[in-house]
Amino acid sequence: MHESTRRIVLQGSDAVAFVADSRKSEAAPTLAYWKDMVRNLEANGLDPRALPIVIQKNKMDLEGLRDDEFADLSRSPKVPVIPAKAIQGEGVLETLEALLSLCYRDLDRALGLSRRFALPEKEFLGSVLSRVEAR
């Protein structure tokens, strides 16, 4: 059931925030979840190499942390890795900002947002994030 649910959730995705456990003890399950996500994206006709993806390196407040940037996750082009302590709210907005930035750049290449609509990336991000932070 979880497999089909994950596939449905990823259907038609414009971007993905992959929340990864940063503990060394969770390296194998994290890699398995990553591979599962890639398979599900591909099953939905999405190219994980072209889709905006950010990795949130979560649980940075715990012991036994990985000292790499998830080098075992095969990814190209390079995916931003944002450290986080989500339970404390640290790194959450930074993850969102990184993902929105990648989405903006993707849409700008495809639609010319900055040229056609006079909407530069900084203004777009500022507008969205000011609404999020106000809550």
pLDDT > 70? residue 4: yes
**Nearest Cα residue to 120 out of 100, 132, 104, 133:** 104
Instruction: Give 5's contacts (C-beta < 8 A, 6+ positions apart).
Output: none
**2-134 in CATH: which number?**
3.40.50.300
- H/E run at residue 90: none
pLDDT score of 100:
96
What confidence score (pLDDT) does residue 5 get? 82
Q: What pLDDT does residue 70 have?
A: 87
**Model confidence pLDDT, tens digit, residues 95-130:** 999 999 999 999 999 999 999 999 999 999 999 999
Q: What is the pLDDT of residues 6-45, one digit of tens each?
A: 888 888 899 999 999 999 999 999 999 999 999 999 999 9
Cβ pair 82, 47 in contact under 8 A? no
Q: Where are the domains of the chain?
A: 2-134
